Chain A
């Protein structure tokens, strides 16, 4: 039996390696010739440098916003805390491109904020332009503070209250306790948040693509090369970006403190402090609602713009006409409906496949020891560290020639490639969720079922799957919304027949069909929000890129 499982595990590892490892390897092999040329060009170094500093700055900004928020919501008790605490996590569920266009409608030069300022001060032209690194950082900070906020909040809730009590009993004041006792305990959570924010920034495509202009970071540089037909250059740049991502991951891994035993995890969170003084209470409530409003404003904006019929809003501060015509356009015109249908089937298929493969890989990895287990784990985790642009270019590279003896087929231009890309990027989300869920499963439960006469099939269906379902659903829902809203891989790999929602949003924007773009965005937002709220809460946010 064990032998059969081992054969199965190696076969699965081979399949996964073909999907996620092989394309990267081929890209490295084919891109290595152009690497020298890349190294000689100053604009390439500039893009690399910009990617790096934008990622560092985004991470710092996200931390500066997210960590204090985590303290406020984990430690203070005030009216509306629970609802606001949940609302503040919403930006993470917004597909990157949707977030970007919402920011465009809100803070762009003809957005609500600019129009309001213009109207108030009677200005002739827009007071600012939403462009360049500042705009990118704004969007990044908005969507990535959630990583710090959720992880640090969870760590604070898990913190053993006895530690702080012991510090107090030893005579430490509030600040000393915070710096010497509480903060060191939060280092893993903050590193975790920083890792997510950094990797997401590094792979971020939508914000630099829409707001960057000539300010190019590596992912936009790669896409530009690819769309210009400069394949060699794109491959070499892709290798550089992948190397940077893996280097970052390695550095974070080294920074992670080896857990020093410490006190066991207690289930009881420290009592939340009820704010007594009226001023502090008012301050906390105002801050909480203010931030929640900031977090939700893009959502409202998108919703509002989606009800503005094309060509009815020119210079007014607020749109004069509101109607549902954009949605009708979407549903009535087959060519407009097409992207919706495409995204739905491709995301569903990719998620289902990723769920099955991820679960099988996780189960085999946990059930077996040795090299096959490590290989499966590595293959599940690998796509997580790889920016979406890299994957897209790698898949385009691997599957643009017909060499069946090398397991290479022409998939470029077929409807297969995009779902395959979604699948590869979903794999870490479903696989890690399955690993986490299965690792928490008490092995005695399966043994108990076995002693009661249940065979493997029955144990799987009656015991294992029902118990890990919440974890699987959490992973699958994040995978689904990531695929549904994907822009970064789509822009490299889509064909006219498989064009997904994000591509249609982009072309609507180009056609100044803002209402239709917003309507697509709202649909994505609603689907994503629903999936996130229904299944996502138990899971750590893992999604990266784009």
Chain B
């Protein structure tokens, strides 16, 4: 499945082959993307992956070395930020400290030929949209982080932009506020129906807010898709390793018939079956991506198992994640198993096998070392 196949709706924001380098470093390579009207798309990646650069190119704050940004059918690549009609919420909100809340929100409405009263009315309206009605005269310095974020959103939305861009919108908030704020932000965007691109390094945030997630690794767009796509059907090892928790076991690839079309020989006489995420020939070195829920503890006598010792446990309520240091022919490898919290104890010798009811593990070409 390709990224293009999942978006059949008309693209409102289209990015074609964007490239950007700073000095010798290629920060963004051949970045192409389509976002449908009203869609919320998350650009996910670690810091330095190029996601903020991509957002700045969309906003017109930096100019790309190559490529196009097309907004509502119009090529806006050469248009300066001031004339692009894009609303942006900055990571630290960038509220103007010398202006009141209302003046901040009005800023983008002034100089557009609107009357004073109309500016005021629209600013009040924008404040009401983020549930801050009547805060027009307040000072921005006195606001909490969450309220500052709402003012920043109101300010970005007030001039009725065509696209809303959010740079790490939750990184500045206390952890206990984030979940609530995420829900609230998603509801606001949905209510307005504005096309939105948000940048984040937290996959939980991306999954919670966005319709689709675009994963950037080292300046390359690895995969675009729904959270399920990325978790269950990663197209590359980089995506598989980045999204969710997982372990890798390597071995020669073995062809197989049926829905699980291949296997990896994880030790002599033992093949674990899965599906090929990319083309690998029989006998070539391969790696199987093992999610904690795709593994289970079995009897020590089970021939389809790998053996090891429980090293540590991460408690997660009724079920826990157990870290198992494997031994024998796979000594040095570790896997994580999701099981009932009391199933095993630390230090216990255990047997680990594939869980048949879980989604089949993905198989990739072994990473070159």
Contacts and interface: CB of A to CB of B under 8 A. Distances in A.
Contacts of B88: 447-448, 451
A444 B155 CA distance: 14
Given A452-B107, A454-B107, A447 B96 contact: no
Interface in A392-447: 442, 444-445, 447
Contacts of B159: 452-453
Contacts of B108: 452-454
B98 interface: yes
Given A463-B96, A466-B98, A450 B81 contact: yes
Contact of A451 (B61, B91, B92, B96): B61
Contacts of A451: 59-61, 81-82, 84, 86-88, 156, 165
A452 B84 CA distance: 9
Nearest to A443: B94
B58 to A, nearest CB: 10
Contact of B94 (A447, A454, A455, A458): A447
A447 B111 contact: no
A61 interface: no
A462 interface: yes
Interface in B150-165: 155-156, 159, 165
A449 B104 CA distance: 10
B369 interface: no
B110 to A, nearest CB: 8
Contacts of B84: 451
A58 to B, nearest CB: 41
A462 B82 CA distance: 15
Nearest to A453: B82
Given A453-B83, A453-B159, A463-B96, A448 B90 contact: yes
Given A442-B94, A444-B90, A466-B98, A449 B59 contact: no
Contacts of B97: 467
Nearest to A462: B107
Contacts of A463: 96
A433 B80 CA distance: 30
A453 B83 CA distance: 6
Interface string B329-356: 0000000000000000000000000000
A449 B108 CA distance: 8
Interface residues of B, number: 26
Interface string B226-247: 0000000000000000000000
B71 to A, nearest CB: 13
B96 A445 contact: yes
Interface residues of A, number: 17
B112 interface: yes
Nearest to B92: A444
B98 A454 contact: no
A311 B82 CA distance: 71
A433 B257 CA distance: 75
B83 A444 contact: no
Contacts of A452: 82, 87, 107-108, 155-156, 159
Interface in B35-89: 59-61, 80-84, 86-88
A467 B98 contact: yes
B111 A458 contact: yes
Nearest to A445: B94
A448 B108 CA distance: 10
B61 A450 contact: yes
Interface in B255-312: none
B210 to A, nearest CB: 21
B82 A455 contact: yes
A-side interface mostly: helix
B74 to A, nearest CB: 16
B112 A447 contact: no
A454 to B, nearest CB: 6
Interface string A254-282: 00000000000000000000000000000
A444 B82 CA distance: 14
A448 B94 contact: yes
A451 B107 CA distance: 11
B367 to A, nearest CB: 34
Contacts of A453: 82-83, 108, 111-112, 159
A452 B59 CA distance: 11
Nearest to A448: B94
Nearest to A458: B111
Nearest to B155: A452
Nearest to A446: B94
Most chain B beta-carbon contacts within 10 A, residue among A450, A453, A455, A466 = A453
Contacts of A454: 82, 107-108, 111
Contacts of B155: 448, 452
Interface string B131-163: 000000000000000000000000110010000
A455 B82 CA distance: 6
A445 to B, nearest CB: 5
Most chain B beta-carbon contacts within 10 A, residue among A442, A449, A451 = A451
A449 B107 contact: yes
Interface string A125-147: 00000000000000000000000
Interface in A453-492: 453-455, 458, 462-463, 466-467
B92 A442 contact: yes
Interface in B87-120: 87-88, 90-92, 94, 96-98, 107-108, 111-112
Contacts of B156: 451-452
Contacts of B96: 445, 448-449, 463, 467
A462 B81 CA distance: 17
Contacts of B98: 466-467
Contacts of A447: 59, 61, 81, 88, 90, 94
B111 A444 contact: no
A442 B92 CA distance: 10
Contacts of B107: 449, 452, 454, 462
Contacts of B165: 451
Contacts of B59: 447, 451
Nearest to B81: A450
A463 B112 CA distance: 18
Nearest to B106: A452
A211 B301 CA distance: 102
Contacts of A455: 82
Nearest to B158: A452
Contacts of B82: 450-455
A463 B98 CA distance: 8
Nearest to A451: B88
B128 to A, nearest CB: 19
A368 to B, nearest CB: 16
Contacts of B94: 442, 444-445, 447-448
A349 to B, nearest CB: 28
A452 B154 CA distance: 12
A444 B87 contact: no
A462 B80 CA distance: 19
Contacts of B83: 453
A268 to B, nearest CB: 19
A543 B71 CA distance: 54
A309 B84 CA distance: 72
B112 A444 contact: no
Contacts of B90: 444, 447-448
A376 to B, nearest CB: 22
A444 B80 contact: no
Most chain B beta-carbon contacts within 10 A, residue among A450, A455, A458 = A450
Given A458-B111, A467-B97, 6 more contacts: A444-B91, A447-B59, A451-B82, A451-B84, A453-B108, A466-B98
29 contacts: A442-B92, A442-B94, A444-B91, A444-B94, A445-B94, A445-B96, A447-B90, A447-B94, A448-B88, A450-B60, A450-B80, A451-B59, A451-B61, A451-B81, A451-B82, A451-B86, A451-B87, A451-B88, A451-B156, A452-B107, A452-B108, A453-B83, A453-B111, A453-B112, A454-B111, A455-B82, A458-B111, A462-B107, A466-B98
Q: Which 5 A-B pairs have the closest CB atoms?
A: A452-B108, A444-B94, A448-B94, A450-B81, A451-B88
